[in-house]
Each structure stands twice: as C-alpha cells, then as structure tokens.
C-alpha cells in the first residue's frame, strides 16, 4: 500500500512538471515562431535588454506579447521563465503585479511629458516584490519630442532592474537615439492555418468563408479581423458594386455608383477601398492563397484575372483622385464608364 502511495505521488509530481513544461511562455501569443524562440532563449540565459520596441500594426498582438514578456521577466522559475503558473506570472497576466507599470496618458492624444517624467522618478525606486521593474508604454508612436527626450534620459543610464517595453506602430516614429538603445521586435501577420482556429473559437457562429474574408481584409492580423467580424465585413455599397461588376451588369454598377455623387468624399473613399480589396481578394483566391467568400466567388466566375487587376487599379486611381480634390461627379462618372 505504501509503495503504491509513493508511486502515485511520483506520478502526480511528474505530471505536474510535464504540465508546467507544456505551458511555455508566449503560448498565448499566436504566430511569430522565430521571434518567440529568440525571446525564450534569451530569457532562459538571463540575457535581457533594458529596452524593447514591439513594432506592429494595431491588433497585431503587441499588448499580448508585452504582458507575456513582463511575466517572463518577473517569473520565479528561472529554468522556464514565463511559466504561467507561478504567483508572479499569475499576477502579471491578471494585470495586478505592483512592479509592472503602464505608462500612458489617457487624457490626451499624445503622451504628455509629465507622464514620462513620473516614470523617470519612479524608476529609481527598487522593485516592490519582483525581480524586475517593467514599464509598458502602449503608445510609443504618440510620444512627442519632449516625452521622447525625457525617456531617453532614463535609457541612457537605467537601473539594472528596469526594463521598458515600448509598443509602436512604427519604430521610425521614435528618435534614432532611442532605437539604438533598444531591441526591435517586428511582429508579423498570421498565416491562414494559425489564425482561423482562433477566429473559430471566438466567433463560432461565423462560417469558414466569413472568417477567411475577415482575415484577408485584415491582412493576416487577428485584432482587425475580429473587429471586422464584429462590425460587419464590408459596406453594402461595396458589395453591390463588386457583385454588379462580377455579373457584368452595367445597370447594377450604375445603381451602386450614381447615388454616391451626393455623398461626401470621406463617405465614398471607404466604398472604393473595400471594393478594390474584394477584387484583390479574388486575385489571391485565383492563385489559391485564400478560401473565397460568396462575393469573391462571383468575381472569380464572372471576371478574368486581367479584368480584376485593371478594375482594382481603376478604383485605386479614383480614390487617389478624390483625395487630390478632383470633383466627385467627375470621379463617379469615370467609374461608371470604366467598371462596365
């Protein structure tokens, strides 16, 4: 009986260790395998930087990655930083860790210099309970010159325990002197195979075709794809115009375009862009890179690749003309002639 109990205990301990091993850091951050492997290895070796730039479009997963990096930096398991199960990891992921601090200015479009100065004053106070003191700056692209200069003063001689995670849509929005002191992490879009299972989990009522269309519209980024699925993929006018063009129905094309002559430029531009995007999706579907939805299937059936490409270029030119203050009537009239 005693031997069986010992065996049972060892089995449970072994299973717990295996479970812990499976719950590796960055598992909740989809795609970007090479980037994650690079971070995991540097964290295991204790070779971390004082500053990281997390670069990517809105919805690319920058905030998720920043939180998981913070967990890895605070993790108590030195052999598997970011284990996800230790108290430090749990606190970070629940956004309750006292040494993981968000530096943002919710009152203004640009982050005020006083907000950064507060962080500069705080950084020299040692961590309350963690191994590091992690500062997450979610809107690096909105740091003005004074704020960036204040941040630079911290980065020039930071305390050994301080780490800054700067999220930005573009590294070029930051001073060269900041970029030179940071490790740049460029986030990539997800493949169809990586993203669709997650989209299915979040939107079980959507069809595979709807999910594929949303992912294509979002250019492979999960956040914008989710937003498109919540808000509706395409404007009705864009769908009507694309379907009319697909059917070679000149009257339907006119019915979609002519009412837009009464609209403002900012109302017309999204319709032209979404219609152009549908045509580009059809071109990609023809090459086998995506699974098409109903409108894209209609375009594939009704138009050749050359016609799709020419129409997409026509729509882009029309959008450029509208943005350059060419008259709305002239632009819409030209489209009525060219999109027959």
Q: Is 88 helix (H, G, I), strand (E, B) or coil?
A: helix
Query: Is residue 124's pLDDT more than 50?
Result: yes
Residue 150 and residue 222 in one domain: no
Number of H helices, E strands in the chain: 16, 5
Contact present, 279 and 242 (Cβ < 8 Å): yes
Residue 170 and residue 62 in one domain: yes
Query: Is residue 214's pLDDT more than 90?
Result: no
Residue 228 and residue 243 in one domain: no
In order of 60, 90, 265, the CA distances from 68 in angstroms are 14, 10, 42
Percent helix, percent strand, percent coil in the chain, to nearest 5: 60, 10, 35
Tally of structural domains, the chain:
3
Query: Is residue 76's pLDDT more than 80?
Result: yes
Give 292's pLDDT tier (boundaries 50, 70, 90): low
Residue 41 and residue 166 in one domain: yes
In order of 86, 232, 295, 309, the CA distances from 236 in angstroms are 50, 10, 12, 22
Contact present, 39 and 96 (Cβ < 8 Å): no
Q: Is residue 285 part of a domain?
A: yes
Q: Is the pTM of this model over 0.85?
A: no
Residue 129 and residue 223 in one domain: no
Q: Is residue 6 part of a domain?
A: no
Q: Is residue 2 part of a domain?
A: no
Q: Higher-confidence residue: 292 or 280? A: 280
Residue 29 and residue 54 in one domain: yes
Query: Is residue 293's pLDDT more than 80?
Result: no
Q: Which domain holds residue 201?
A: 191-205+212-233
Query: Is residue 193's pLDDT more than 80?
Result: yes
Query: Is residue 21's pLDDT more than 80?
Result: no
Residue 284 and residue 320 in one domain: yes
Distance of alpha carbon 79 from the chain centroid: 30
Query: Is residue 5's pLDDT more than 80?
Result: no
Q: Is residue 249 part of a domain?
A: yes
Q: What is the DSSP string of 214-277?
A: HHHHTTT-HHHHHHHHHH-SS-HHHHHHHHHHHTT-HHHHHHHHGGGGGS-HHHHHHHHHHHHH
Planar angle of CA 65, 69, 72, nearest 5 degrees: 140
Residue 118 and residue 174 in one domain: yes
Q: Is residue 329 part of a domain?
A: yes
Strands (E) across the chain are located at 51-55, 100-102, 133-137, 162-168, 183-186
pLDDT one-digit tens code per residue, 83-92 = 888 999 999 9
Residue 199 and residue 123 in one domain: no
Instruction: Report the pLDDT averaged over residues 292-321.
Output: 90
> Is 31 buried (19+), middle (13-18) or exposed (0-12) by CB count in 10 A?
buried
Please say whether the dihedral angle defined by the alpha carbons of residues 107, 110, 114 and 115, taken in this order, is positive or negative: positive
Residue 79 and residue 174 in one domain: yes
Highest average pLDDT, of 38-42, 43-47, 108-112, 249-253, comes from: 249-253
- Counting residues of the chain whose pLDDT is more than 70, the rounded percentage is 90
Q: How much is the mean pLDDT over the chain?
A: 86
Q: Is residue 111 part of a domain?
A: yes
Q: Is residue 14 part of a domain?
A: no
Residue 161 and residue 277 in one domain: no
Residue 201 and residue 310 in one domain: no
Rounded Cα–Cα distance for residues 191 and 79 (Å): 31
Q: Is residue 9 part of a domain?
A: no
């Amino acid at each position: 009986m005693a031997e069986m109990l010992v065996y049972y205990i060892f089995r449970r301990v072994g299973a717990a260790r295996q479970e812990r091993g499976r719950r590796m850091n960055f598992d909740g951050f989809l795609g970007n395998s090479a980037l994650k492997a690079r971070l995991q290895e540097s964290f295991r070796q204790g070779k971390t930087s004082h500053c990281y730039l997390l670069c990517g479009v809105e919805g690319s997963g920058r905030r998720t990655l920043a939180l998981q990096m913070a967990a890895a930096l605070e993790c108590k398991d030195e052999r598997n930083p970011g284990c996800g199960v230790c108290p430090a990891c749990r606190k970070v992921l629940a956004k309750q860790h006292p040494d993981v601090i968000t530096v943002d200015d919710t009152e203004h479009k640009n982050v005020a210099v006083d907000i950064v100065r507060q962080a500069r004053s705080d950084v020299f106070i040692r961590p309350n309970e963690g191994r590091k003191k992690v500062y997450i700056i979610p809107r690096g692209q909105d740091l003005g010159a004074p704020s960036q200069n204040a941040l630079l003063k911290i980065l020039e001689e930071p305390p050994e325990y301080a780490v800054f995670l700067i999220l930005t849509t573009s590294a070029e929005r930051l001073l060269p002197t900041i970029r030179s002191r940071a490790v740049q992490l460029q986030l990539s879009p997800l493949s169809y195979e990586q993203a669709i299972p997650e989209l299915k989990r979040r939107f079980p009522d959507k069809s595979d075709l709807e999910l594929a269309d949303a992912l294509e519209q979002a250019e492979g980024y999960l956040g914008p794809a989710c937003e498109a699925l919540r808000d509706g993929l395409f404007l009705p006018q864009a769908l009507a115009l694309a379907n009319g063009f697909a059917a070679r129905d000149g009257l339907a094309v006119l019915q979609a375009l002519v009412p837009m002559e009464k609209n403002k430029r900012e109302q017309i531009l999204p319709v032209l862009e979404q219609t152009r995007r549908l045509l580009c999706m059809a071109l990609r579907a023809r090459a086998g890179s995506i699974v098409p939805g109903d409108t894209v299937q209609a375009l594939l059936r009704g138009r050749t690749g050359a016609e799709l490409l020419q129409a997409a270029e026509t729509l882009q030119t029309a959008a450029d003309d509208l943005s350059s203050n060419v008259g709305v009537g002239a632009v819409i009239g030209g489209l009525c002639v060219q999109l027959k």
